[in-house]
Structure 1
Amino acid sequence: MSARRAPRGGQPTSGAKDQVARLLALVPYLHAHGQVRVDDAAAALGVRPEQVVKDLKVLLMVGLPGGYPDDLIDVDLDSLEGPEADGVIRISNADYLARPLRLTPTEATAIIVALRALRGGAGEETRSIVDRALAKLEAAAAEAVPRVDPGLDAADVDLALRATRLQQAAADRRQVRMTYWVPSRDEQTERVVDPRGVVHHHGWSYLDAWDHGAEAPRLFRLDRIQGLEVLDRPIETEPTAPRDLGEGIFSQSEETRRVTLHLDPPARWVTEYYAMEEVRPRDDGTLEVDLVVADERWLLRLLLRLAPHARVVVPPEFTEPFVAAVQDALNLYRNPA
C-alpha cells in the first residue's frame, strides 16, 4: 500500500501492518460472499474503494508456495479499472481457501499458546469459545504425536516438541538451562532463564524469558536453541505473562529508539516494507513517519538507500552519521581506488 495524503474526513494511512490486517479480513470475506461490488467490500472493511483496489493488487502476489502463476490468486483487474470496469470483484484460482486447514505441529502449538494467552483476559462468553477450540486442538495434537507423518520435516516436529517443553516449564514455574546460538557473534552461549512462555511473530517461535546472565528480559528464537534442560528448581523472578508481539519484536526500551523520518514522494515505498508506528501525510505530498529502531547501523543503511529523498527529523543526533556516510559514499564514487 502506497501511503498518500489522507482523504478529506478520513484517517491517515498507517503502513504495511494495517494492509496485512485488511488482507486477512478481505480473503475470507470474498470467499464467503463470492462476487461483490468494490463499494460493498469497502464498506465492510471501513476503507475507501480505492484502497480496496490497491489491496487487491497486492492479493495478486499471494498464493501457495512456489510463486508460479498457477500458484497465485488471480484478480480480474479489468472489472475494477478501465472503461469497461463494472466495479465487481472477481477472484479465481483460490479454491484451496475452501479446503480444511492442515496444521503442522509448530502451527498447532502456536495457536494453542495464543489461545491460552487470550483466555486469561477474555470475558466469560469468549472463554467458552476458546475452551472449545483448545479442546479440539489439544486432542488433535495429542492424537497426532505418535503418528508423525513421515513426510513431515523433522525440524518442524522438533520445534513443536521444544515449544511444548518450554511452555510447560513456564506453567510449572521452573528454570531452564539452555545452549543458545548467537548468530551475530557465531558462538554458542550457556543461559539460565526463568521462562515466561512461548510467543510467535512472523512465522518464528520465541521463548520470552528472564535471562539471569544479562539480568534482563530476552527473546530467544526456538530454532537457535541447541539444547535445553528443565531444572528442578523454581524461577527466581516474579511470574510474568509473556509479552504481546502484535506490535513487533522490539518494544520501547533502552535498546530501541523511536525515530521520525521525513520522506519525499519517491521514498514513500518504505511504508509498504517496514512496520511504522505512525504515518502522517503532509499537504505537500511528503510523509512524516515514526518507527522503532534497535540498531543505528540498520537505520543508516536504510537512509542511504532512500537518499536523497529522506532525512531524520528526530532524534537530531542521527543526522550527523548519515551525512558523514553519504559524504564517504560520494568520495568513493568520485575518487574510486
Structure 2
Amino acid sequence: MNNRLSSRLARLLNLVPFFIANPGMSAAEAAAELGVSTTQLMNDLNQLWVCGLPGYGPGDLIDLSFSEESIDVTFSAGIDRPLRLTSTEATALLIALRSLVEMPGMVDPSAAQRAIAKIEAAAGSAAARATGNGHEAEPEDDVAEAPVTATVRSALADRRALKLTYYSASRDAVSERVVDPVRIVLVDNFSYLQGWCRQAEGVRLFRFDRIDAAIELDEPSTPPPHALDEDSSLELFSGDGSLPEARLFVAQNCVWMLDYYPMDVQKVNDDGSVEATMSFGTLEWMARLVLGFGEGVRVLAPPELVAEVHNRAVTALDAYDTIGS
C-alpha cells in the first residue's frame, strides 16, 4: 500500500509541470509518455481537482481542462513555482540524494551529483549572503556509473529485453537468462531490477550487485500485463514454485535469524522457539546454512534435507575423530 501511495503521489506532483510544459497533449499520448494507462491518468487528473493550497476553495485548488483529446492546466496553485527549501529540508534532501547515488540503478549518478552541487551552491550562496563572505561550495566531479548498471537502466528506458549473467545466492550458482525489465525497486536497502524472467516464466528480483554481466538485446521488452503490477513479486522468493521448502525448528536464542533470511513463521512455542518455513535452491546450500547454526536450528522436513544435514554432520565428526587418533 505504501509503495502504491508513494508512487502515485510522485506522479501527481509531476503532472502539473508536465502539462504546463506540454499543453494540449492528448490523454493517450500523455499516458504513453508517463508510463501509465489512460484510465489511471484520468483518475489522477480527477484527483488533482481536489488538491491545492490551504483554504481549498475557489482560487486555491488546481484547475484543469481535460478530455481524452486535450489536457491543459488553467490554474497551477503554485506547483509550477520553484520550491524554497529551509536549511533543514535542504540537508535532508542532500542526505537522501547521496544515499541514492550509492544505490546502483536507482538514479543516474551524474544527474544526482549535479542536483547535489546545485543545492550545495544555493545553500552556499545563501550562507555567504548571511555571513558576508563570498565563499560558495565547489561542485563535485561526476560519479562514474558501473557499466552493468548503465546497461540495465538503458534497457529499461528503451523498453528492450536484457540478457543477464546472474549469481543466485539461494542456489549458489551463476546462470544466464533473458529478462523483460519492468522497474527498479529498493528492497531492504538493496536495489533490484524487477523483471519478467523468460526462463522461470515469472516475475523475479535481480539484485544489482549480483548481476555479473548485462547485454541489451535488439528486441522489445514484452512482460505480460500482470507483471506490471507495482506490488508484483516484491518478496525475494515470491511465486517461485520451483523452489523446495524447508521446515525448521529455530531455538529461542537463534530467532534473530528471521530478520535476516526470508522465512515464514508457522508456529511460536511457549519457550520462545519457533517453527518456520524457508525456500531454498539446493540441498547443499541449505545444509551448510543449517549446520552453521549448530544446535540452534534443526531441520524438520523435507526428509532429503534431514538426511543431507545428518550425513554432513557425521562426516565432520568422523574427520575430528581421525585427527584425534
Per the normalisation by structure 2, the TM-score is: 0.48
Whose RCO is larger (CA < 8 A, sep 6+)?
A: 1
Q: Which has the larger radius of gyration?
A: 2
